[in-house]
Structure 1
């Protein structure tokens, strides 16, 4: 990294009309590879904290991000409206694998053995008393 974190400038902009995914994708295009963005709340208002070695985004760049954000929200809404909710999830690697089940033979066997142990202790205690 050519510049240290102490020489980086930090700017806050409100989240109004800005999609997080869009600003994350576009920021380095506008401000260079060292620029970063993260969600940040300032005085109770949500927004984005931008860290960059140079100046912050221009009004034109922010307008462009807002336009792209609006397009992103419209695409997401269209996908939901077209039945995106009925889409089949493709998660073959996340197929659940049963490790144990309540009431399986192992747990039943352990419960029976536990009872036998208690029964034999009770008999021993009873013999000692007599």
Structure 2
């Protein structure tokens, strides 16, 4: 049986949402994962049992499905008028005229 270890998993084709949300399903409740760059490549630093090739393939399939669903949701959200605002909608900010600050000299008012 394999022992727990720390290792880097390349992130190509793996959705951050899926990997971070499902690693304990695959490796147990003591496993942890975080985004990590290794030698200039994005991926994940995992503490736990080594993932099998089948488990990595399952994560990739789940990631593709998640990304497909999210793309469809975003496309439909753009077509429909929804009460939920688009998060990246530009918001105009008008320049307010500066208030003139008046300084009162107490010596003049005597």
- TM bucket (normalised to shorter chain) is 0.7 to 0.9
CA RMSD of aligned residues (A): 2.8
Q: How do 1:1-130 residues align onto structure 2 when only pairs under 5 Å count?
A: 9-52=5-48, 55-84=49-78, 86-89=81-84, 114-115=103-104, 118=105, 120-122=106-108
Gaps of at least 5 residues in structure 1 are 1-6, 91-101, 125-130
Structure 1 residue 26: deviation in Å? 1.6
Q: 1:72 and 1:84 mapped to 2: Cα distance?
A: 18
- Higher relative contact order (Cα pairs below 8 Å, separated by 6+ residues): 2
Gaps of at least 5 residues in structure 2 are 86-95
Please state which structure has a larger fraction of its residues in helix: 1
Runs of 4+ in 1 over 2 A off after TM superposition: 83-87, 120-124
SS at structure 2 position matched to 1:28 = helix
- Structure 1 or 2, whichever has the larger Rg, is 1
